[in-house]
Structure 1
Amino acid sequence: MSGYTTSRAFLEALAEAGVRYVFANLGSDHPGLVEAYARARAEDGADALPELVICPHESVAMSAAHSYAQLTGVPQAVVVHVDCGTQNIGGMLHNAAKGRVGVLLYAGASPFTQEGELLGSRNEFIQWIQDVHDQRGIVRGYTKYDNEIRTGHNVKQLVHRALQLARSEPAGPVYLVGPREVMEAEVPEQHADPALFSPVAPAALAPGVVERIAEALAGARNPVVVTSYLGRDPHAVPALVELCESLALPVIESVPMHLNFPADHPLHWGYQWNAQQANPLLEAADVVLVLGSDVPWIPTQNRPSAGARLFVVDIDPVKEQMPLWHVPAECFARADLGTAVAQLRERARELADPDVVAGRAETAAAEHERQLSELAGREHPDGEVITPEYLVACVREVIDDDTLVLTEAITNYQVVNEHLRRTRPGSLLGSGGGSLGWSAGAAIGAKLAAPDRTVVSLVGDGSYLFGVPSSAQWVARRYGTPSLTVIFDNQGWKAPKQSTLGVHPDGVAAERDDFNVSFAPEADLPGIAEAAGGAWGRTVRVASELKGVLVEALDVVRSGRSAVVSVHVPAV
């Protein structure tokens, strides 16, 4: 008996591929993994395996792996319990899929023997109940790849292939399952070279496409760039700045989940989310270049004019996983965004007319200054009432450029972007998807990925509760990943109310203010974090106390302890 099992080979393969952390919620399907870790520690070989991070809730594990990969570009692993644990990460799996983030998700499977024929055979009642027809089918709509580990003899190949697919653009989650008997089985020591499983190399634009787009931009009267996630690659942001400066191209960020363009740049033309009115800047454009966006505009509300020429450049230009999607573009091109922008930049410099560029730059800068002036006028409390704009302005004042901000403020997404005004690529992250609760675990993964940076999460009260804060705060305490959570506490769900008003502005719900969205009676939101994770907590109800509390909270976080500040803003 060598003690070298499929489980040991599986964990070795993860480490060989650069996986530093396994975020785990363990169950009866994982004895092989538990034993492999214990044996490695007993033999002083634990450094050869990824560090195990225990997460009492699966969504926390998935979100932590998600944000770690966002910051480093290296997928991490999540281990969950058969079908039940797989279903428990559903919302966060959606976020990783829609945010194009590589994560390797592993779940055990119920043992396939029941008479003791093999080590790991069924010995608990739950293993009959958790034996489902198609466990892999639970996640198939959200993963790039799924497979079953059937033998330890090729487990390293499966792991490296899965991670190769997870890292290849468009990146995304992958899923492996392993029956208990297989993961317990002894095998010869396994070897595989991860260098032979590199992700697909970045794709470039064809020369003819570069020429077509560059000529359209150079010859336009009012060109505009629209982007949502070019900033997934922080190195692409400076290249976009150079492209835009070469032709004086203004930039609009549509539902951004990353910093795509410095907010203080004179060519930055603001943000659009769910505004129910037209964007006059987009309407006036005669050429629109969409660089990485799933929702560049909402067709019924703020689309470009019918005569505008539209071009789409994206790692996923026709949104193959979205059943209903269309932009009436004359050209769709698949390319790595940083590579494409660099190509366009070089050709644009050759085509640029200095007089035209100077005139457009002056007009764009004037619009940028107008927007800044208008926003500054909103950054005041209403007496002692804390407005969302004032709250974000206070956060902006107390953090520095190096602070990593996670945004999950939902109905205040636009307020956060407009008033936080981040300028450093990679300093602002969102989930990329639509399932709430991401930031709680994401703060853990972000701090593990960037231990020297201060992590601040801006969340709604609903998002905070969705994040299972009791679990997240406990994990943060155990693994030394302190962060500051600032809650926009409007005492309810504002998003469903806004959606109802958007469809039924004069309905009975509006007439009677009957939306079923109140969180009364009020919960002690910081108290949850204090009880579960030993966090420092405060609730702020008046504007005059806000800045002082935020400064104190940041001092606490920098000393090594998490802090949660719940800020009362106008009620929903």
Structure 2
Amino acid sequence: MYTTSTAFLEALQEAGVSYIFANFGSDHPAIIESLTDASLKNKDLPKVIISPHEFVAMSAAHGYAQVTGEPQAVIVHVECGTQNLGGAIHNAFKAKIPMLVFAGASPYTQEGELLGSRNEFIHWYQDVNDQRGIMRGYSKYDNEIRTGKNVKQLVHRSFQIAKSEPQGPVYLMGPREVMEEETERVEIDTSLWEPIIGSALPEEEVHSLVSDLLGAKNPIVVTSYLGKKEAAVKELIKLCEKLAIPVLESVPQMMNFPANNPMHCGFQWNEDKQHPILEEADLVLAIDSDVPFIPTKNKPPKDATIYYVDADPLKEDMPLWYIPSKRFFRADSEIVLNQINKLVDQSSIDNSAVSTRRYKISLYHEKMKKVIREAEKPQENIITPEYLTACVREFVDENTIVLNEAITNYGVVTNHIRASETGSYFSSGAGSLGWNGGAALGMKLAHPDKTVISLTGDGSYLFSVPSVVHTMAEQYDAPFLTVIYNNRGWNAPKHSTLGVHPEGIAKNANQFWVNFSPNSELAKVAEATGNAHAVTVEDPNNVKDALRTAMEHVKNGRSAVLDVRIPKV
């Protein structure tokens, strides 16, 4: 039969979905029937990737969309599977990652009135009042499939919303009887379901912005996720090189501006210090950045002129958020930078001022590089995060993707990996730990020809459900390297406590309730469940050899995990 499930799966194929990351349950018999029927008939549908944990499934879809820009599908089991997505829902929504999540729903008949009626005890327990409400605060759109007659339209509308800026996850659910329903095939012209086209600035506003930019003595650009578009990065490079404008990356979700460019003036995370270039800025162009600076730690002068450009400039999903900007623009960064560059090319430029600023920023850039190099020097008997990252960097080439979920060593990784190619570096872009494992898997599936290296803290590694991650990596031939920055504890709560109580009781007692078992063999989890090459590294003299051997395993099709012991929390 041609059912609602058949039409649903066809719609995913029409929408360009390559993978369905699935955790099937009692609500999916019709989908399983349709998938099997399609397989037997060699009918093209997205490939199913079985995920034994929903968090990993959504993290994999997250990673795939990050490196390709194309949303994938996640199928989970009723409200239980929806809730088991957990922090991955937060990550996808806050990081603006497009994807479609589908969950079945308990049957709404119980006496055999319709095909799919209740026949298992669990159907009563899994019948809840507001299943869609679980996702409502973390998705751009949610709806229930009530008939097969318009299921394709609902799917394509969902993707249209997911892919329109600001992008994000969408959620559909469908009761078992509806998904079993026989229906007629509907033809869809996908060209009529394209996402909303990005916006430009009004002409008079471009003139105002460029006038202020050209008149500024110490302008600066701050960004976090402009690198989603390679063309936007090229436009930013053109602008900053022409006018000698420094770029500061605030908690970068990806490579936004080449770290080797003389106009790159560093990264910021939670460091408790003022950035000197931002401190003296008289104009800040904050573009594609949710948190361009933290006012209690690091901010521009009070009288600095700020322009804010973003697909979501009001952050209506963040109850407390404000930046004192001259203008807020809901616009596409690539289009805006192109507008600015065109007008700058037609404008009179104070070349003397630009030359002076270029020398100053280039000098700062070189001093910054020197400090970074000094920090990378090996130390006797301990493996510093700086040295470890520098060692990893030696194995990174133009065909490598690096993931960073090192958390309290997040800043160390960004500073010392020094990513300079679009699409070569990613972080989760949000706050729920564990993204690294599933995301690495998704990125490897997206780019099987590339080497994927995941750099993670020990806490983030445990959050990622590594047993499931490496089971899937072996099953689907998606090997990657994981390097654990293992300080045998959870350093983030300690940092947070000291940030509020620098001389408090916890510090004086040296008790922060953050330590893990020092005897845990974290890499062995991946070895046991995914046949990964697993090694614990404690001697700084062994780091490079361990990395070299691990990379050889990955190149030969086997995942590798290095549990590297850095100084304890």
Q: TM-score range by the shorter chain?
A: over 0.9
Instruction: Check conservation: 1:251, 1:261, Cα contact below 8 A.
Output: yes
In structure 1, the partner of 2:321 is 325
Output aligned runs, 1:38-77, within 5 Å: 38-45=36-43, 47=44, 49-77=45-73
Shift of 1:189: 1.9
Match of 1:522 among 506, 512, 519: 519
The AA in structure 2 aligned to 1:21 is Y
Cα offsets for 1:365-391 (capped at 9, x unmatched): 001001001111100222020000000
How many Å separate the matches in 2 of 1:141 and 1:478?
Answer: 34
1:550 and 2:547 aligned: yes
Match of 2:181 among 164, 181, 185: 185
In structure 1, the partner of 2:24 is 26
Shift of 1:95: 0.7
In structure 1, the partner of 2:370 is 373
Shift of 1:501: 0.8
Match of 1:35 among 33, 36, 53: 33
Shift of 1:348: 1.9
How many Å separate the matches in 1 of 2:11 and 2:531?
Answer: 36
In structure 1, the partner of 2:137 is 141
Provide structure 2 residue ranges, at least 5 long, that are not aligned to the other structure. Answer: none
Provide structure 1 residue ranges, at least 5 long, that are not aligned to the other structure. Answer: none
Match of 1:382 among 367, 376, 379: 379
1:241 and 2:237 aligned: yes
Hey, which bits of structure 1, 4+ residues long, moved more than 6 A? none
How many Å separate the matches in 2 of 1:228 and 1:51?
Answer: 32
Instruction: Check conservation: 1:246, 1:349, Cα contact below 8 A.
Output: no
In structure 2, the partner of 1:456 is 453
1:565 and 2:565 aligned: no
In structure 1, the partner of 2:11 is 13
Shift of 1:276: 1.4
Provide the secondary structure at the position in 2 that maps to 1:377: helix
How many Å separate the matches in 1 of 2:477 and 2:299?
Answer: 46
The AA in structure 2 aligned to 1:561 is R
Cα offsets for 1:124-163 (capped at 9, x unmatched): 1111001111000001001000000000000000000000
In structure 2, the partner of 1:511 is 508
Shift of 1:564: 0.4
Match of 1:483 among 480, 483, 494: 480
How many Å separate the matches in 2 of 1:127 and 1:521?
Answer: 43
Instruction: Check conservation: 1:246, 1:345, Cα contact below 8 A.
Output: no
1:278 and 2:274 aligned: yes
Provide the secondary structure at the position in 1 that maps to 2:292: coil
Cα offsets for 1:107-133 (capped at 9, x unmatched): 000100000100000011111001111
How many Å separate the matches in 2 of 1:347 and 1:246?
Answer: 12
Shift of 1:281: 1.4
Shift of 1:521: 4.2
Shift of 1:318: 1.5
How many Å separate the matches in 2 of 1:366 and 1:279?
Answer: 15
In structure 1, the partner of 2:388 is 391
How many Å separate the matches in 2 of 1:228 and 1:42?
Answer: 46
Match of 1:101 among 81, 97, 102: 97
Output aligned runs, 1:267-416, within 5 Å: 267-351=263-347, 352-416=349-413
Cα offsets for 1:243-270 (capped at 9, x unmatched): 1111110001111111110000000000
Provide the secondary structure at the position in 2 that maps to 1:554: helix
Shift of 1:219: 0.7
Identity %: 55
The AA in structure 2 aligned to 1:166 is A
The AA in structure 2 aligned to 1:156 is K
The AA in structure 1 aligned to 2:312 is D
The AA in structure 1 aligned to 2:554 is V
Provide the secondary structure at the position in 1 that maps to 2:210: helix
Instruction: Check conservation: 1:537, 1:564, Cα contact below 8 A.
Output: yes
247-256 vs 228-237, which moves further: 228-237
Match of 1:215 among 211, 214, 221: 211
1:251 and 2:247 aligned: yes
**TM-score when normalising by structure 2:** 0.99
1:198 and 2:203 aligned: no
Cα root mean square deviation, aligned: 0.9
How many Å separate the matches in 1 of 2:113 and 2:414?
Answer: 59
In structure 2, the partner of 1:229 is 225
Shift of 1:504: 1.4
The AA in structure 2 aligned to 1:234 is E
How many Å separate the matches in 2 of 1:362 and 1:384?
Answer: 40
Paired residues, number: 568
